[in-house]
Structure 1
Amino acid sequence: MSTLDAKKIEEAEALLGQTASAANEYAKAGMYFKAASAYRSAKSFDKSKDCFLKAIDCYENNKSWFHAAKSYEQIILLAKETDQLPEVENYANRACCLYQQHGSPEAAAAALDKAAKMTESKHPELALGFYKRALAVVSIAESTHQAAEFASKVSRILVRLKKYEEASKALKKEISLNLQTKSFGQVGRLVVALILVQLTLQDFSDAKKTFKKWGSRCDPQEVNTLQNLLQAFDDEDAELAAKMLASPFIRHMDVEYALLSKDVPLPQGSGQMPKNGGDNAGN
């Protein structure tokens, strides 16, 4: 143990020794919080977590919901440092509840967003749950711009997880939110993404309905790409469909949708290849 770590542990133990004489629950919570921070600096993570939990109990006894939520966020950071990411779910949801109880929906959504970003790489299903809850929180608060941002994250993870039925519904919601905020520049790309999802589901009828409903919101390049793509499926022209799916416009979309384009089943015309093989299609 380094000299600095030893000093931090000594500092933490001194603070714990003062908790019995604290003037009130709020003061005691502050001592536990400082002790937890000192233990964390000394990499004594179990003791740090224990002190944060004791601080939370004191804050809740004092009805200091905001500070209790902040303490939960510190435990979430500990989970990241100790690579115990599955523990994040419980603490992030508790932090969210306390922020909402305090009347701070923005802080609640921000806590969920941090937890989602922390877990998205290794635990995308966990991150999806955080983004969905964050979307619900900001929707209740009628923050449409924020809702659109979280809806985008939900849609992308659903596509990455190949949950296409759910992704189709999520993209429709995302389009609706962007129309409400008059973010028309975003809508065209989302229409393309939704049609790719619907074609992956082999729901050509819905893909045509989507283009008919929202195609007027697309820019000329998007319209041209979608018209040719849908015509290829209508004509059962696998070669043209593969060419359109491999077009630079689609390949330069957000990564989830660019990758999705390689999985779209091609129309099965006479003698045509049944699947979009990526390298074989359009190269």
Structure 2
Amino acid sequence: MDDKFRSKKCSEGDSHMQSGNKWLETSIWKLKTSPDYDSAAADFDKALTCYKLAKDMDKAIDAAMKSAECYLKTSQEFHCAKLIEQVALFYRDKNDMKMCCKYIEQSSNHYTSCGEIDSAFQCIERLAKSLDQSSSSTELHKMTAVALLKKAFEVGKISNRPHEAVSALDYASKILLSLKKYEESLEIVERTWNFYEEVNNPKMLFRVGLHFVLLNLQLQRFEPALEMSQKMLNVDEELAGELNVLIKAFEMGDQKLVSKITMGQNFVYTENEFAKLGANLKVSESAEEIFVRNGSRSLDSGFASGSTGMSREVEFDEDDLS
């Protein structure tokens, strides 16, 4: 796209903006007592298209905001929300995360106000995923995505798709795990557990409980990990037994048994980031030294008997999420 084309489109956009502003003017002499918001919105929309082609984001933002205001004046809040969502994307492309979040929240609020709660959730989730998945994504982009996904969950859990809402939390926990922010990831996993416990979804509790234990072991926190293994007795006794052996082996410093368990299918077939966490789980050097000094007496005999449930594979489908 050459400069001549951009200049032409920018000029066309300016003409549409002038026309749109004239529709908003009132005149006693011309007996025009109220603005023509519909005609103004149509011109501002044309200007927006021109500025987008000219790649002039600042002017595009101005045109989108003026058009959104006109739609709001004529009670067309859905169209207003869509335009403000566009503004959020422009700020994303300008790498202004603060303004990006401000306008996507405004867009979501307008969608909610006009009864489009699913759209309110989806606009935030779409933006968050685009920030995370961009080839130029930095830690700032990923942490912004996490904040947006938390917001998406709050919006989405009152929509018609609560299972999609909690998937936003799952996504956020995996982003944090990829950044090695274990504390923050654990906090989200706890919220996810509470949600599935509230809706009584044992199959998803199976997966989330496993993630909770892995994170606590990474953080060297044995007590909450053991408490979760006890809670898992009400979800799946075999997995509860396997987690219990894993925790004890980790605490004892039995790296061989820890690796053997985390290479089992319950761990290997979970989400990629958590599977990697399990595969790379290392006992502390001091615990391993004590274990070796004490003659390496492993818990492996109980594990080998099959009582830990390594042979069990749990499959999930979309219905399990709701």
Q: Under TM normalisation by the shorter chain, which class is it?
A: 0.7 to 0.9
Does residue 144 of structure 1 match 2:156? Answer: no
Taking the aligned partners of 2:167 and 2:17, their CA distance within structure 1 comes to 43
Query: Which consecutive residues of structure 2, in runs of 5 or more, have no partner in the other structure?
Result: 25-34, 293-322
Matching residue of 2:273:
256
Does residue 185 of structure 1 match 2:203? Answer: yes
Taking the aligned partners of 1:110 and 1:264, their CA distance within structure 2 comes to 35
Residue identity (%)? 23
Describe the superposition over 1:65-123 as per-residue Cα deviations: whole angstroms up to 9, x where unpaired.
32222111212333344555554212212212222222322111111101101222421
- How far did 1:140 drift? 4.0
Matching residue of 1:26:
38
Matching residue of 1:211:
229
Does residue 155 of structure 1 match 2:156? Answer: no
- SS of match in other structure, 1:266: coil
Describe the superposition over 1:134-153 as per-residue Cα deviations: whole angstroms up to 9, x where unpaired.
11112344753233222212
Q: Where in structure 1 do 4 or more consecutive aligned residues deviate above 6 Å?
A: none
| 2:209 maps to amino acid | V
CA contact (8 A) 1:29 1:55 kept: yes
Does residue 69 of structure 1 match 2:81? Answer: yes
Q: How many residues align?
A: 272
Matching residue of 1:94:
106
TM-score by length of 2: 0.72
Quote the RMSD (CA, aligned, Å).
Answer: 3.0
Structure of higher CA gyration radius = 2
- How far did 1:154 drift? 3.0
- SS of match in other structure, 2:157: helix
Taking the aligned partners of 1:147 and 1:219, their CA distance within structure 2 comes to 28
Taking the aligned partners of 1:198 and 1:136, their CA distance within structure 2 comes to 25
- Map 1:238-249 → 2, pairs under 5 A: 238-247=255-264, 249=266
Does residue 135 of structure 1 match 2:153? Answer: yes
Change in Cα spacing, 1:166 to 1:42, as seen in structure 2 (3 Å) is closer
Query: Which consecutive residues of structure 1, in runs of 5 or more, have no partner in the other structure?
Result: 274-283
In terms of mean alpha carbon deviation, does 146-155 or 6-15 score higher? Answer: 6-15
TM-score by length of 1: 0.80
Change in Cα spacing, 1:27 to 1:254, as seen in structure 2 (3 Å) is same
Change in Cα spacing, 1:238 to 1:62, as seen in structure 2 (3 Å) is same
Taking the aligned partners of 1:36 and 1:199, their CA distance within structure 2 comes to 53
Matching residue of 1:281:
none
Taking the aligned partners of 2:41 and 2:244, their CA distance within structure 1 comes to 63
